[in-house]
């Protein structure tokens, strides 16, 4: 597997690693299939600005690097701005990730979002109550539809935006389901008059 120098640096020299006992928000996400688990702690001041962030990650080099750079990216940002961070932002900040490791950036962005949502009092879906369209990567239908709403119009684009199809099954189970959802959103061709 080939990683660029920046990914290797963030893996070998992770920034902000550790726990934060006095955190204002904590977000934890994971994929039991691939084994990556991320926990991110945020310290947020009364103006809503993230003043510190820490992480602990159990996973591969891409998972550690994604967690590390994601914490750097949100420090100094208002929670509303940090909440807009996407997995693409994480991938771009790292200078790219191998295609089959994009899901690590998704988990990092999700951990940040989950922590901020809890801080803001936004209901966070609990795993036991959620029906996943991509079970390997724990991707909900809502996440797929959100990716489509933001311009993903192929299975590959949805996979890059969400991390779907990157799990153990290689998308065998979820690719047809994603295609069905895409069909619902694609413009229908007008029937030609005879």
Tokens coding 111:
């951990």
Nearest residue to 47 via CA among 84, 81, 21, 85: 81
Specify whether 169 is catalytic: no
Query: What region does 45 belong to: left with phi over 0, alpha with psi -120 to 50, or beta?
Result: beta
Using CA of residue 53, residue 54, residue 58, residue 63, what is the dihedral sign? positive
Specify whether 134 is catalytic: no
Per DSSP, which regions of 31-143 are E strands? 37-44, 50-58, 132-134, 139-140
Cα separation, 159 vs 3, in Å, equals 20
Tell me the three state secondary structure of residue 40. strand
Cβ proximity of 74 and 53 under 8 Å: yes
Cβ proximity of 108 and 38 under 8 Å: yes
Tokens coding 189:
């061709």
Q: Which of 60, 104, 134, 174 is catalytic?
A: 104
Which are the catalytic amino acids?
34, 104
């Amino acid at each position: 597997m080939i990683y660029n120098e920046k990914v290797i640096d963030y893996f070998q020299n992770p920034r902000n690693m550790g726990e934060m006992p006095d955190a204002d928000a904590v977000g934890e996400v994971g994929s039991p299939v691939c084994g990556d688990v991320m926990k991110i702690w945020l310290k947020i001041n009364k103006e809503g600005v993230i003043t510190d962030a820490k992480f602990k990650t159990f996973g591969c080099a891409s998972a550690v690097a994604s967690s590390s750079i994601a914490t750097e990216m949100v420090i100094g940002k208002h929670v509303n701005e940090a909440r807009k961070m996407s997995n693409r932002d994480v991938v771009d900040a790292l200078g790219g990730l191998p295609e089959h490791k994009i899901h690590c950036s998704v988990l990092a962005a999700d951990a940040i979002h989950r922590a901020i949502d809890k801080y803001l009092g936004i209901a966070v879906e609990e795993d036991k109550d959620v029906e996943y369209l991509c079970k390997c990567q724990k991707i909900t239908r809502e996440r797929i539809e959100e990716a489509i709403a933001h311009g993903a119009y192929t299975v590959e684009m949805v996979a890059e935006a969400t991390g779907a199809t990157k799990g153990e099954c290689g998308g065998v189970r979820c690719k047809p389901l994603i295609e069905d959802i895409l069909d619902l959103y694609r413009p229908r061709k007008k029937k030609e008059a005879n």
